[in-house]
């Protein structure tokens, strides 16, 4: 049987007791090797301390908070996968013995080897992209406002081109959008995006419409609201000017989320802003952040 950790290292009973119980259960029922059980103990204790710091325990944590505890952007994906495996064992035991009715691990998935990650767009590249449009022209000012909004909010390209004036509240710095599944969400705008939207709406949009009525925020000179295809062309054109290869509107969405995670944003917040129904979809950005950390070490460490 696994020997318990020294008493001075023990967690509060609500966190420690389930760990001890599930390890004893696994030892008795599956005869797991000592090293395997010790590995589970290490990983579960690590996650428990993160839950403790957040004021949570094994019975109160939901899938979003558990994902935030498991998918630490500073850890290797292999460490995250091991921690998730240990958590699945513990929550399965809690459910089997009636301590919890649900499994918060159901929609959490370990990062896979060879998993495709979004291309990493640096903040310097984004700065170059946003500086590319010629804001002295009506089209350039529109493009600048569109790029600023997409990077500031992480909107899907379809959400950006369908945005209407009534969904834009520049005084409060908010937009309301309808995403997948016809779900409405509010997304805040930063000061920079608000500034360029105000300029575009006051100066460029009236010149592009030439007196025509249109509810869409982003318009063209000929057809009213811009299309998804035109939005793609706008992003691609200015990305080429900024010497960024293969940047799509969805790449701006990835950059928005990745940069938030890099700066310490909670995964729950990123999930809400992106409009993801499943936290498992959002967790990819912790893996992107991991890759960025590795890249920074390789570039700047003397033995990288």
Out of 41, 82, 89, 276, which one is annotated catalytic? 276
> How far is Cα 246 from Cα 240, in angstroms, rounded to an integer?
9
- Virtual torsion, Cα 158, 162, 166, 171, nearest 10 deg: 50
Annotated catalytic residue: which of 156, 254, 259, 292? 156
* Catalytic pick among 10, 109, 228, 250: 250
Query: Per the residue annotation, which of 100, 253, 287, 292 is the catalytic one?
Result: 253
Q: Among this protein's residues, is 156 annotated catalytic?
A: yes
CB of 136 within 8 A of CB of 237? no
Task: Tell me if residue 222 is catalytic.
Answer: no
Residue 82 appears among annotated catalytic residues: no
Q: Check if 180 is active-site.
A: yes
Residue with tokens 């059980």: 37
Strand partners, 164: 216
Could you tell me the two tokens for 300?
Answer: 């700047």
Q: 180, 183, 207, 294: which one is catalytic?
A: 180
Residue 294 annotated among the catalytic residues of the structure: no
> Is 89 an annotated catalytic residue?
no
How does DSSP assign 117-185, residue by residue? ------HHHHHHHHH-S-TTSHHHHHHHHHHHHHHHH---HHHHHT-BGGGEETTTTEEEEE-GGG-EE
Active site residues: 156, 180, 250, 253, 276, 285
């Amino acid at each position: 049987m696994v020997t318990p950790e020294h008493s001075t290292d023990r967690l509060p009973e609500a966190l420690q007791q389930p760990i001890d119980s599930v390890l004893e259960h696994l030892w008795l029922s599956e005869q797991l090797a000592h090293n395997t059980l010790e590995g589970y103990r290490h990983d579960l204790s690590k996650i428990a301390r993160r839950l403790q710091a957040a004021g949570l325990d094994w019975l109160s944590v939901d899938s979003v908070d558990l994902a935030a505890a498991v998918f630490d952007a500073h850890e290797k994906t292999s460490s995250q996968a091991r921690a998730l495996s240990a958590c699945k064992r513990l929550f399965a035991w809690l459910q089997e013995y009636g301590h919890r009715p649900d499994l918060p691990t159901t929609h959490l998935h370990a990062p896979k080897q060879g998993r495709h990650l979004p291309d990493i767009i640096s903040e310097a590249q984004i700065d170059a992209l946003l500086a590319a449009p010629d804001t002295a022209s009506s089209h350039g000012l529109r493009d600048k406002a569109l790029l600023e909004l997409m990077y500031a909010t992480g909107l899907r390209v379809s959400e950006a081109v369908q945005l209407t004036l009534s969904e834009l509240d520049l005084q409060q710095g908010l937009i309301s959008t309808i995403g997948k599944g016809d779900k409405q969400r509010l997304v805040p705008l930063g000061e920079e995006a608000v500034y360029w939207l105000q300029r575009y709406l006051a100066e460029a949009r009236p010149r592009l419409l030439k007196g025509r009525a249109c509810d869409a925020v982003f318009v063209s000179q000929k057809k009213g609201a811009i299309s998804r295809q035109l939005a793609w062309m706008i992003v691609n054109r200015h990305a080429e000017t900024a010497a960024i290869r293969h940047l799509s509107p969805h790449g701006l969405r990835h950059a928005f989320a990745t940069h938030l995670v890099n700066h310490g944003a909670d995964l729950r917040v990123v999930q809400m802003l992106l409009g993801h129904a499943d936290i498992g979809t959002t967790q990819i950005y912790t893996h992107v952040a991991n890759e960025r950390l590795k890249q920074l070490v390789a570039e700047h460490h003397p033995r990288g």
